[in-house]
Amino acid sequence: MELTDRQQQILSYLKQHSDVQIGALASMFAVTTQTIRRDVNLLCEQGLARRVHGGLSLPAILTNTTYQFRREVESDIKRSIAKEVARQIPEGSTIIMGIGTSVTYVAEFLIGFQALRVVTNNLQVARILEANPNIEVYLTGGRVRCEHQDLIGHSVLAFFDDFEADIGIVGCGSITPNLSAMEHELPEAEISKAILSNCRQNWLLADASKWGRFASVKVAGLSSFSRIYTNKAGLPSDLPIYSVE
């Protein structure tokens, strides 16, 4: 079920603040508490939030939230970024696509390609692209993380080492004030690093919500990327920013 704009904004707020009271949401959106309760009920039914006394909070899971939760947050801008990224990938390229919902959205815009080789540990990317026989899809081995729809482990890193790709496409958990791309967990950071080391160009997808978040494992400084696709304004002019509205 598609979320309304208000429901997506509630999710974005939860992602930043972890919990919120019903009354505060009603004031924030200038609607009745009954209206907010309907939104809360839907979000909780979908497992995107959970009820607490007088309000709601993030699901009772790790800080690195589930695939479905992350897919819904900032989905419109993620799609806009993904569309621009896909537009700039040349036909016939070999690309390595990493984990995360931002990268998955790119796959949705690649489905019409006539020639493409895609190497990935992202289960959703593989599922989307296998529908086009003109796209060669190489899926890594590894341990399946159902909640994140990906594969992790040493076999992923070894598989990526077998390729020298044209473009690597990765997301991130956050961007630090000193301009480093970060991930929440070590296996995720290791996978992104492996992609960076096996691609001629590396493209980072990071919508504005990634700035100011906290994640503790470093992937690379932003200067390590060939392109940074974002809707974040006011970034240093020496970074290879590709702005998306």
Label residue 95 exposed, middle or buried (CB < 10 Å: 0-12, 13-18, 19+).
buried
Q: Are 189 and 218 in contact (CB under 8 A)?
A: yes
Residue found under tokens 């009920």: 41
Just give the CATH number of 74-241.
3.40.50.1360
The C-alpha R_g of the chain, in whole angstroms, comes to 18
| pLDDT at residue 221 greater than cutoff 80 | yes
Helix, strand or coil, per DSSP, at residue 188:
helix
Determine the pLDDT at residue 31.
Answer: 93
DSSP letter for each residue of 17-72: HSEEEHHHHHHHHT--HHHHHHHHHHHHHTTS-EEETTEEE--SS-SS--HHHHHH
Q: Report pLDDT digits (tens) over 6-41.
A: 888 888 788 767 788 999 999 989 999 999 999 999
Same CATH fold, 74-241 and 3-69? no
- Residue percentage of the chain with pLDDT more than 70: 92
Classify strands 241-243 and 227-230 as parallel, antiparallel or unpaired: parallel
Determine the Cα–Cα distance for residues 113 and 86; give it in Å rounded to an integer. 10
CATH class, domain 3-69, is: mainly alpha
Q: Report pLDDT digits (tens) over 78-119.
A: 999 999 999 999 999 999 999 989 999 999 999 999 999 999
Domain boundaries of the chain, sorted by first residue: 3-69, 74-241
| pLDDT at residue 154 greater than cutoff 90 | yes
Backbone angles phi, psi at 99, to 5 degrees: -90, 165
Put residue 22 in one of left, alpha, beta given phi > 0 → left and psi -120 to 50 → alpha: alpha
Q: Report pLDDT digits (tens) over 136-152.
A: 999 999 999 887 889 99
Classify strands 135-139 and 116-120 as parallel, antiparallel or unpaired: parallel
Average pLDDT (117-130) is 97
End-to-end CA distance of the chain: 25
Helix, strand or coil, per DSSP, at residue 244:
coil
Backbone angles phi, psi at 108, to 5 degrees: -65, -25
